[in-house]
Amino acid sequence: MEQEDEHRIDHRTLPQNPRRTFGHQLALEAIQRNFLQPVSPLLGKEFPLMFRISRGRFQVLLEDVMNTPELVFYHKSPGPFGRPIASVQAILLLPLKTLAYGVPPHTFIDFFQMSKEMARDCCRAFDRAIQTLDMEEYLRVPTVEDLKGINKLHQHRHGVLQMIGSLDCSHTYWKNCPKAWQGSYIGKEKKAAIVMEAVCDYHLWIWHVSYGYAGSLIDLNILNASPFLQAMTGGDLDKLEEEAGIVPYTISAEEFRKMFIIVDGIYPEYSRFVKGINQPVGSQQKHYTEWQEGARKDVEMLFGVMQSMWQFIARRDSRAAYMPAQHLEEDYNGGSHVDQPNDLEEVQDTQIPKKNLVNVPNDIHTLQSLMDDTIAFLYHYANVWLH
């Protein structure tokens, strides 16, 4: 026993790793010098290239965070032993760069001068901050004015009225999916994936998004579990459409009371869903299918833009990435997600007829008879959207 005690190592006597200190003030000076001064070397396109939002938008975000006491993480006093902590600018810019490049938070700790634990906490706090500040504005139900703007936008861009937008799902692969979950998350591509469902308009403004669905589910399963179906059947959207004066409208002497959504062929034949024809016969059906496929590219372009601009989405979804995507769209379109009035040209009344959406499950019905009128109507005005 005495010999064993002699060979036993007393860890208390081993040399300890020195306490690390980070140059928070140096990091702040570098951020100010490179990005935030009136004249800085990275004043032009470099800032949105690195952080995916404009410098003006970042200044608004910074002011909102500083003026929101509920965001306790950003209002901390100096850290332990009176040492300064990372600046709010660094705490906000690191998560933006992490989302943009789709890398772990500790990738940029050398520039922002913080520990990997602090970097991880910054990303979590950023997610909560974005939800607190922007969710009510950027992930909301359209208002009466929004519906009017959407209606006018799609009249100009797609040649039709009464169109809300396009609906589809996107699968993003989950490389580090836990082994025990892979049975639920592996779909037809034989890779674990997470599914996002979204509705957007021509300007890629997101009017509905839900995510986190297992990759083994198909679009139809996701729709049945989605809050979007409940929103359509709840009646609130119907009231907004009537208040906006968009409905009712008539075509071929028949009255319709619902706006419609472009979807692909897997979705059920609900009265708000406009689908293409699998095997079009004749020039009228071909024109209609060509128009429908072109209009549905809006939501497909949304998924492509988001995954290219925010690489983190291509790896695993985060709610914090969707609101900055809305910021980017607002900056691109001059602060509005609809066309400016002087940019719109009046086109002929080319509404697509869609009957009432279901108010109760038993009211769901097919649209074959209405689709026939739609095909003929679009063919008559084909020059609006094909030429």
Q: Is the pLDDT of residue 211 over 80?
A: yes
Tens-place pLDDT, residues 68-115: 999 988 887 665 556 678 899 999 999 999 999 989 999 999 999 999
Q: Other CB atoms closer than 10 Å to residue 132's CB: what's the count?
A: 14
Answer for the pair 87, 28: CB distance below 8 angstroms, yes or no: yes
Question: How much is the pLDDT for 362?
Answer: 36
Banded model confidence at residue 251, pLDDT cuts 50, 70, 90: low
pLDDT-above-70 percentage for the chain: 73
Question: How much is the pLDDT for 383?
Answer: 45
Give, in order, the Cα–Cα distances in Å from 287 to each of 29, 116, 280, 347: 59, 56, 9, 18
Nearest partner of 114 among 24, 235, 38, 180, judged by Cα: 24
Q: What angle do CA 236, 220, 173 make, to 5 degrees?
A: 110
Answer for the pair 85, 76: CB distance below 8 angstroms, yes or no: yes
Banded model confidence at residue 277, pLDDT cuts 50, 70, 90: confident
Answer for the pair 97, 312: CB distance below 8 angstroms, yes or no: no
Mean per-residue pLDDT over the chain, rounded: 80
Q: Is the pLDDT of residue 341 over 50?
A: no
- What is the distance in angstroms between the CA of the first residue and the CA of the last residue of the chain? 94
Question: How much is the pLDDT for 363?
Answer: 40
pLDDT-above-90 percentage for the chain: 40
Could you give the dihedral angle defined by the CA atoms of residues 287, 293, 294 and 296, in that order, rounded to the nearest 10 degrees?
Answer: 140
Contacts of 20 (CB under 8 A, 6+ apart): 115
b (16+ CB within 10 A) / e for 41-75: eeeeeebbebbbbbbebbeebbeebeeeeebeebe
Two structure tokens written together for 70: 């509920």
Contacts of 383 (CB under 8 A, 6+ apart): none
Question: How much is the pLDDT for 197?
Answer: 95
Amino acid occupying residue 51: F
Tens-place pLDDT, residues 254-275: 677 888 899 999 998 888 888 8
Tens-place pLDDT, residues 346-385: 333 333 333 333 333 334 443 555 566 566 656 665 444 4
Nearest partner of 210 among 221, 201, 220, 222, judged by Cα: 222
Q: What is the mean pLDDT of residues 226-243?
A: 86
Q: Which of 74-83, 183-192, 312-321, 325-334 has the highest mean pLDDT?
A: 183-192
Nearest partner of 93 among 140, 67, 68, 59, judged by Cα: 59
Question: By three-state DSSP, how is residue 293 classified?
Answer: helix
**Sequence-ordered alpha helix ranges (H) in the chain:** 2-7, 24-31, 46-51, 55-66, 88-101, 109-112, 116-138, 144-157, 182-185, 219-225, 227-233, 236-244, 282-309, 322-332, 368-380, 382-386
Q: Which residues make beta-bridge pairs with 170?
A: 196
Question: How much is the pLDDT for 189?
Answer: 86
Two structure tokens written together for 17: 């790793």
Alpha-carbon distance of 91 to 84, in angstroms, equals 13
Question: How much is the pLDDT for 178?
Answer: 92
> Which of 4-13, 31-40, 199-208, 318-327 bottoms out in mean pLDDT, i.e. has the lowest?
318-327
Question: By three-state DSSP, how is residue 213 classified?
Answer: strand
